[in-house]
Every structure is written in structure tokens, then in C-alpha cells.
Amino acid sequence: MKQRESRRIQRSAIVIFNTNDELSFGERLLKSCTRAVILRFDPALSEHQDPANIVRIPDIGTLEDWLRSSGRPAPATFLLATKDAFDVHQRMMASLASMEVRLPQLLSSGQDQIFVLDRQQRMVAFFGHWPEESPRRPEALLGKSKRDVLGSEAGAVHEAAGLRALRGEEVTYEWTITDGPPWPVHLFTAASPLRNDGGEIVGVLLVTRDITRIKRAQEEIEATLKEKTAHLLEVEREVRQIADSFQRPSRQVRQNTPGSGISALLSARERQVLAHLRRGVRLRSIAKTLGISVETVRQHVKAMFRKTGAHSQEDLVKLFDAGERS
């Protein structure tokens, strides 16, 4: 007898009411006359339902007649929903089915993570690439919101983008996951409205891509630029100091320095090089004595040519000697 009864028990039935008040009354009625489990319908967690198990209740009298009727298996679970909520769910499922044609092109890169959200922003479907090192698995996220998974602060960012998408906007934003190795991971997400064939928005399509490598490359470039800029600023400061010393030579130097007319134009290093040139020392020996390269010595000599108008080392020495005698 028990085996015969167990065969007459179907898994569940969805009972659809026109209003919330009727749903509440029907819930009390079912609890009073059946031992079945009574639940509120949750689109994200419910399994696909056979249309034969969906009961639309135009009024409470119809529910009472349906419960009294015989010849059908008794549901083990009743899922109660309002007409509006269930119809939105049905349209959402139809939209997901129609996506089968469009998804191959969308998934061509193979690196995107694609979530479908319902109008309550619960994740109801996942497609695409999922990193093996992630501690979360996509199937464990279905039925949950971003706030459930990521917490209030990070979830609020996603919810704000989702609300804009539900209003028909295309939204892009960057965000970061920091909880555990190999984090932090930087991500870029595009949120788009998901429409049914009639153009009605029934959910949100989230396409996310890992941009961690790009972000790290940007950070390295910025650090290098910062270092180079600091070096250039230091060089500029030194050049300005040298230029200021040329433009404002002290009267004391003009009066007391041999060849003061030329010396006032030269830097301290250039005067050192010039002193060696006056003694007939070769450039390579000057470089060794001063602890600098031969090319640097040549640059100092060229600089002195520009400042004095000399065309050779001999001219430069003569100009200095003439200034010293004067």
C-alpha cells in the first residue's frame, strides 16, 4: 500500500496566484489541509518545471476544488508564486534559451566570464572561462547576488551597475578581488541589459575579463616613468645652477681669478680642464687625472669653445692667457 502511495506523489507543483493577498490566504489553506512542504517560489533555485505541474489559481475556490479533486499524484512540495513574478521568470528562461544562437560569437575570445542575472540581480547562469586557481566555483554562485558572494562594499559596486543596466544603460567598470592567493586580481566588467524577443528588459548580462597583467604592466611603466622624471628633474636642477653661475658671476671672482674674463664664463670643472690644457696635457691624461671619461673631457672643451668663441684648444689657451695679462 505504501509503495502504491509513493508512486502517486509527484515531486512539486507551482501554484500561481493573481495577488499577494490571495497567495497568503492560499498558503494558510494549504498548511491546514496538507502535510506537503510549502515554499515561496524562488526563480534562481527552482528546477525546470513540467507545465503539467503548474497550477494557475484564478480564485481561492478554484484552489479548494483542485485540492479536493482525486486522480492526480499529491505534490510533496508546493511552490507558491504571484502571476507577475512567475511570468518574469518564464520570460527570463525564454531569453536564455534564445541566447544559444548568439553565445558562440560572444565567447570567441575564450577568456571572458559571463554571468546572467535576473531582475533581482541573482546569478542564474554562467558561461565561458573560469580560472582553475579560483577558490570559488561558478556553480556555487548560482542563485546568489554579488553582495552575497563579495560582501557589502564590493557588492554595492556591482548592484549599482546592475540597476543602471536594468534601466537600459550599457555600463563598464573596473574592480579588484583581494581575498587570498594568487590575488589581487584586477577585473574589467561590462554590464548590459538582457532583453527578450519583445524588447523587454528581463535581466542583466555581465561580461568580465581578467586585466591583471595589463594593470601590472601599467604600474611598472608608471614606476619607470616616475623614476626617469625624478632623474630628469635632478639634471635640470643642476643645469639651472650652472646657468645661474654663468649669468651672475661674483665681482670677487672677476677681480681675483686669473683670466677672469673667461673664467667667469666657465664652470668649476671646465676651469680644471682648461688648467691642464694650458700645461699641454693631453685629453686622455686629463680624463684619468680628473676621474672622468675622455668623451666627458671633450664635451667640456666644446662647451668652452661655445662660451668663448674659440675654434681650437690653442685659441682657448691664448684667450685665457690674454685675459690673465689684462
* Digitized pLDDT (tens) for each residue of the chain, 326 residues in all: 333 433 344 567 788 888 888 888 888 888 888 888 888 877 654 544 555 567 777 777 888 887 777 555 667 788 888 888 787 777 766 666 655 545 545 544 457 888 889 988 898 888 777 767 677 777 788 888 888 888 888 889 999 999 999 999 999 998 887 765 556 888 889 999 988 877 889 899 988 888 888 888 888 888 888 888 887 887 777 777 766 665 544 443 344 444 456 677 788 888 899 899 888 889 999 999 989 998 999 998 998 888 888 888 888 888 887 766 65
H helix runs in 151-267, sequence order: 152-166, 212-247, 251-256, 260-263
Residues 204 and 254 in one domain: no
**Full-model pTM:** 0.44
Taking the chain, what is the end-to-end CA distance rounded to the nearest angstrom?
134
Q: Is residue 297 part of a domain?
A: yes
Residues 273 and 240 in one domain: no
Shortest CA distance to 102 belongs to which of 114, 120, 89, 91? 114
Beta pairing, strands 77-82 & 185-195: unpaired
Give dist(CA 104, CA 55) in Å, integer.
Answer: 36
Residues 6+ apart with CB under 8 A from 157: 173, 175
Q: Is residue 49 part of a domain?
A: yes
Give percent helix, percent strand, percent coil of the chain, each to the nearest 5: 50, 20, 30
Residues 125 and 196 in one domain: yes
Q: Is residue 98 part of a domain?
A: no
- Domain final residue pick, 58, 92, 126: 92
The CA R_g of the chain, rounded to the nearest whole Å, is 41
Domain that holds residue 308: 249-325
Residues 169 and 201 in one domain: yes
Beta partners for 126?
115
Q: What is the pLDDT of residue 171?
A: 92
Backbone angles phi, psi at 63, to 5 degrees: -65, -45
CATH of residue 272:
1.10.10.10
Residues 124 and 192 in one domain: yes
CB 124 within 8 A of CB 116: yes
Q: Is residue 146 part of a domain?
A: yes
Residues 127 and 203 in one domain: yes
Q: What is the pLDDT of residue 309?
A: 83
Provide the 8-state DSSP code for 135: S
Q: Is residue 101 part of a domain?
A: no
Q: What's the structural domain count of the chain? A: 4
Mark residue 142 as left, alpha or beta (left: phi above 0; alpha: psi -120 to 50; beta: remaining).
beta
CB 16 within 8 A of CB 55: yes
